[in-house]
Amino acid sequence: MSILHVDLNSFYASCAVADSDGKYTAETPLIVCGDPKKRHGIVLAATYPVKHRGVRAGMPIWQALSLYPNAVLVPPEYARYTEYSEAFMQIIRSYSPVTMRYGIDESYVDYNGCEHLFGAPETAAHAIRERVKQELSLTVSVGVGDNMIMAKMGSDYKKPDAVTVVNAENWERLMWPLPVESLMYIGRASARRLRAMGVQTIGDLARQDQAALRALFGVNGHAMWERANGRDDTRLISEPEQQKSVSHSTTLERDACGDAAVCAALLRQTEQTAYRLRHAGLRACVAGVHLRYTDLQYESAQKTLSRATDVTDELYGVLRPLALALHRGRAVRQIGVSFGRLTGEAEQLSLFDAARHVRMRALDEATDTLRDKFGFDIVRRMSTLGFAHTEKDDFTPFARH
């Protein structure tokens, strides 16, 4: 198996540097944030000089400026990010027919069978790195691995502008000394519980008794142990195979009777499913909702959007009136949302829509960053705090429907 994971370094900040016509460089202390003119909002991305001072995505601007007072603040340019992302993917696709976009700034590549065209996997990784640098003025970190977890951990291992090979022979040497929270899908809460067990590093986790992990974390305990040992049998799904729609549904722990309860559950489902859309680099042209009542009757409704979007609040704004029209005060047992006619093309915004869209997009980007690192429930909207669903329907961010 030969899998590559290619990750654009500090993507938003690097795009700002590339578009500055020499005004900024990679050494410029630059922060991309929601509203730099008002000096509030959240950090979306930063160049490495700023990161080295402790500034991180998701941090309030005031806190970032306290760490680096002279940092240059620039607003996000989402249309340009989409253009850069598409150009990046064109380069990636030229090295393999099987690629899987993983958000706007990274992609997996199934390199099996391509060696006769571009040489060894490490050779291809360096070629991709150089092409992205020359053609887009951006840098990437590439992980070369025996499976997807090894490739992803490899691209994270050394940044920026680097290639790291991770395999069964060097996994323990490279990965086991790292802090346990460095492992994919280990969020802050899980790391805290693991540290309470004396698990400080990935190696500590790999050496734990599986039964003890399962007792503490359920089925996720076994998955943690597998990842800590570099094991991953996930199949890379090529883009032509990717879903034409994305959906998520949940059976409620308590029946939702009032409008507020139905809307809270709907917002929760919309957040989760829109999160998956954004990670796939897709936007929806059709939004739908379905409700199953306590008498097991089922109703659904959908609407074609005026333009494609992946913004949570915009999707919820379409789904809410549909759900309330169906609900009519009946007790709801199950609720689900679906988004269809998916597209990866750049958004077309009117001047009227642009300001609010940028604000809502910045909110999504900030929460996505936190959720990627610490788990989905690290951020909750107040209106969804009372929402409860059954354990068997627990959210898996990248499950495909």
Burial of 285 (0-12, 13-18, 19+ CB in 10 A): middle
Residue 362 · residue 41 · CB < 8 Å: yes
Tell me which residue of 5, 11, 7 sits closest to 30, measured CA to CA.
Answer: 11
DSSP states along 183-244: STT--HHHHHHHHHTT--BHHHHHTS-HHHHHHHHTHHHHHHHHHHTT---PPPPPGGGS-S
Give the C-alpha separation, 236 to 233, whole Å: 9
Instruction: Return the structure tokens found at 32.
Output: 């991309």
Please list the helix, strand and coil fractions of the chain in percent, rounded to the nearest 5, in that order.
45, 20, 35
Residue 95 · residue 112 · CB < 8 Å: no
Q: If you compute the radius of gyration of the chain from its CA atoms, what whole number of angstroms results?
A: 22
Q: Of 27, 86, 106, 130, which residue is the catalytic one?
A: 106
DSSP states along 252-320: EEEEE-SHHHHHHHHHHHHHHHHHHHHHTT-BEEEEEEEEEETT--EEEEEEEEEEEE--HHHHHHHHH
Q: Looking at the DSSP assignment, which residues form a beta bridge with residue 233? A: none
| Residue 96 vs residues 92, 273, 298: alpha-carbon distances, Å | 7, 28, 43
Burial of 330 (0-12, 13-18, 19+ CB in 10 A): middle
SS3 371: helix
Give the C-alpha separation, 138 to 135, whole Å: 8
Tell me which residue of 78, 80, 76, 84 sits closest to 105, measured CA to CA.
Answer: 84
Give the C-alpha separation, 46 to 354, whole Å: 23
Active site residue 106: yes
Give the C-alpha separation, 33 to 63, whole Å: 12
**Which residues belong to the active site?**
106
